Amino acid sequence: MTKVVLKVEDLKKSYGRNEILKGVSLEIKKGETKVIIGPSGTGKSTLLACINRLVEPDHGRVLLEGEEITSRNACKMRQKIGYVFQDFNLFNHLTALDNVRIGLIKVQKLPKEEATRIAIEQLSKVGLSQKVNLYPSQLSGGQKQRVAIARALAMRPKLMLFDEPTSALDPELIGEVLSVMIDLAKSGMTMLVVTHELGFARTVADEIIFMENGIIVEQGPPALIFTNPQKDRTKQFLRKLTELYGEEKNK
Amino acid sequence: MSFWQIVLVSMPRLLNGLTVTLYMTVFSAAVGLLLGIILCLGRVYGNKVASLLSTGFIELIRGTPMLVQLFILYYGLPSYNIRLTPLLAALIGFSINSAAYQAEYLRGSIQSIGIGQMKAALSIGMKKWQAVRLIILPQALRRVIPAWTNEFIYLLKYTSMAYIIGAPEMMAQAKFVASRNFEFFKVYLLTAAIYLSIVWTISFVFSYFERKLRIPGTVVTER
């Protein structure tokens, strides 16, 4: 039996009287990639933020490899969860290299030489070995996001969370980030990805989760969800996406 | 007396006063910076008590005239048997005053950085204060340099107020020389010229540092 990496149990979160998450449960096994789709404002990002405790949930539990994440052990647990943001959030005052190795040096307390070696290795993997000494504002959006992915991967996470990683990118730059993510999924990384990129979902997702209004409406393998969704709402949403982005080809 | 004679006669005393002025300015700016950072971090990132204390202190100091603060320190405290020399009273007064203002400049700068930097720092496992020290402050301190230049210049000029409580700074010396020679216009003009030259030098030096510390690639318009 494959090991369960992430288990989310009945997660709830409200802001004031506005209930964003109304009890979400899901499970990801080692090496799986699950993709969350759904309209904006339905709690997809809040779900990810609650998983690594950037946002404190009101109710429910999150377990990483069987260990519950609480506000007390959050710092330790976050090291095992890579997080990629929609707007990159690279540290603006640091070079690409320093962005990737600062966590290794300051959080994991690795010696500088080893941290540098790992950082350069990760940056090479995302195709940026020539850009290690550039600052974020000297990089394109796609390059920034690839540095951000390298930064997360350098910590050797058990799980990667992606929060709409390509939504802030020019159409021409989306491909380079997606191809890094596809490679990553194929290499056996466990991933939970919020995205509107249906092509990506089709290519690598083991399961598609359709969320709306704080609940999971429907989930299942991409073949099923894309060709024969059971719920009308899922159908509607997928039609909208296809209208917007055009028919996706299977890669 | 001709202007140049006045220069010759008053220069030694004025320069003497200038050293006190500069000393007061640099001291208060430095102590104010240190205290200001603490106050600001207390206000922005501290727990309820720290935040309330810092905010209270900042608002108290900003809400009262500097002269009142100097008078309380110099003329008020002796009622409680605390006697400060004019210089010490001025140093304390200017330092806490500058701290309050610098804390607010820094707060504005921190708020301009955006929540994403903090989120990213936490997401790789940093503790909150580690994130503040390694990620937030290095960026915020850079952005606050223009405001500091202002603060430094203000301080330099405001230290002239210390002459009222008898601190031997440049303005006190100017008044002394001027009244002794009955050459108010020329002596004060000379004093103004000295202040001006120092202020210009400071602006120049600070903008040099601003350029030197600038994060590469972050400038849109460069003259």
DSSP string, A89-127: ---TTS-HHHHHHHIIIIIS---HHHHHHHHHHHHHHTT
- Interchain contact A92–B (C-beta under 8 A): yes
Q: Quick check: B119 and A92 CB within 8 A? A: no
Interior angle at CA A249, CA A248 and CA A250, nearest 5 = 120
The amino acid sitting at B120 is A
Instruction: Give the residue-averaged pLDDT of B134-153.
Output: 93
Domain-located, residue B7: no
- C-alpha A181/C-alpha A89 separation (Å) is 18
Cβ contacts of A168 on chain B, cutoff 8 Å? none
Mean pLDDT on B172-178: 90
For residues B67 and A165, give the distance between their C-alpha atoms in angstroms, rounded to a whole number.
55
Per-residue pLDDT of chain A (251 residues; tens, 9 = 90+): 689 999 999 999 999 889 999 999 999 999 999 999 999 888 999 999 999 999 999 999 999 999 999 988 999 999 999 999 999 999 999 999 999 999 999 999 999 999 999 999 999 999 999 999 999 999 999 999 999 999 999 999 999 999 999 998 988 899 999 999 999 999 999 999 999 888 899 989 999 999 999 999 999 999 899 888 888 889 989 888 888 766 554 43
CA distance A109 to A155: 11
Q: Which residues of chain A have a CB within 8 Å of the CB of B140? A: none
| CB of A52 less than 8 A from some CB of B | yes
CA of B123: which chain A residue's CA is closest?
A78
* pLDDT on residue A248: 52
Q: Is B205 domain-assigned?
A: no
**In the A/B pair of chains, how many CB contacts fall below 8 A?**
75
ipTM: 0.92
Q: Which of B117, B134, B216 sits opposite A102 (nearest CB)?
A: B134
Please report whether residue B132 resides in a domain. Answer: yes
Is residue A103 less than 8 Å (CB to CB) from chain B? yes
* DSSP three-state, residue B113: coil
Residues on chain B bordering chain A, Cβ-to-Cβ distance under 8 angstroms = 116-117, 119-127, 130, 134-135, 138-139, 142, 215-218
The closest alpha carbon to A43, from A62, A27, A59, A23, belongs to: A23
Provide the chain A residues 150-169 that lie in CB contact (below 8 A) with chain B: 151-152, 155
- Does the distance separating the beta carbons of A91 and B121 come in below 8 Å? yes
Q: Are A27 and A75 in contact (CB under 8 A)?
A: no
Tokens of B55: 């905010």
**Lookup result for tokens 């009955």:** B182
Who among A54, A87, A155 is closest to B122 (CB)? A54
Q: Edge to edge, what strands does the sheet with A191-194 contain? A: A81-84, A159-163, A191-194, A33-37, A207-212, A215-220
Number of domains present in the structure of chain B: 1
Asked if residue B163 is part of any domain, the answer here is yes
Provide the shortest C-alpha distance from residue A209 to chain B (in Å): 24
- B9-26 pLDDT, tens digit each: 888 889 999 999 999 999
Q: What is the pLDDT of residue B219?
A: 65
Q: How many Å apart are CA A81 and CA B120, to the nearest integer?
A: 12
Within a domain: B190: no
Contact across the interface for A134 and B122, Cβ inside 8 Å: no
Cβ of B116 within 8 Å of Cβ of A92? The answer is: no
Measure in Å the smallest separation between the Cα of A233 and chain B Cα atoms.
Answer: 33
CA distance A30 to chain B (A): 21
B155 in a domain, yes or no?
A: yes
- Whether A135 and chain B come into contact, CB under 8 Å, resolves to yes
How far off is chain B from A25, nearest CA to CA, in Å? 22
Print the SS3 string covering A181-249.
HHHHHHCCCCEEEECCCHHHHHHHCCEEEEEECCEEEEEECHHHHHHCCCCHHHHHHHHHHHHHHCCCC
- In chain A, the residue whose alpha carbon lies closest to the alpha carbon of B133 is A106
**How buried is residue A208: exposed, middle or buried, by Cβ count under 10 Å (0-12/13-18/19+)?**
buried
CA-CA-CA-CA torsion sign (A238, A243, A245, A247): positive
The alpha carbon of residue A135 is apart from the nearest alpha carbon of chain B, in Å, by 6
Tokens of A59: 């109710």
The per-residue pLDDT for A247 is 59
Query: In the predicted model, what is the mean pLDDT of residues B192-197?
Result: 93
Q: Is residue B23 part of a domain?
A: yes
Q: What are the angstrom distances between the C-alpha of B107 and each of A109, B132, B207?
A: 30, 12, 21
The minimum CA-CA distance between B203 and chain A, rounded to whole Å, is: 24
Please tell me if residue A138 touches chain B, with a CB cutoff of 8 Å: yes
Is B133 inside any structural domain?
yes
Map residue B221 onto helix, strand or coil. coil
Q: Do the Cβ atoms of A251 and A203 come closer than 8 Å?
A: yes
**Partners of A26 in the β-ladder:** A8
A4 touches chain B (CB under 8 A): no
Backbone angles phi, psi at A154, to 5 degrees: -60, -30
Per-residue pLDDT at A250: 41
Q: Give the pLDDT of residue A246.
A: 64
Instruction: Look up residue A237 and give its two tokens.
Output: 């949403």
Name the residue of chain B whose CA is nearest to A93's CA.
Answer: B215
- Tell me the C-alpha distance between B206 and B210, whole Å: 6
Test the A interface: residue of B117, B119, B123, B130 with most A CBs within 10 Å: B123
Give the minimum alpha-carbon distance from A157 to chain B in angstroms, rounded to a whole number. 10
Contact across the interface for B117 and A137, Cβ inside 8 Å? no
CATH code of the domain covering residue B100: 1.10.3720.10
Between CA A163 and CA B79 the distance in angstroms is 63
Instruction: Provide the phi-psi class of A10: left if phi over 0, else alpha when psi is between -120 and 50, else beta.
Output: left
Range of the domain at B99: 19-167
* Separation of alpha carbons B3 and B179, rounded Å: 15
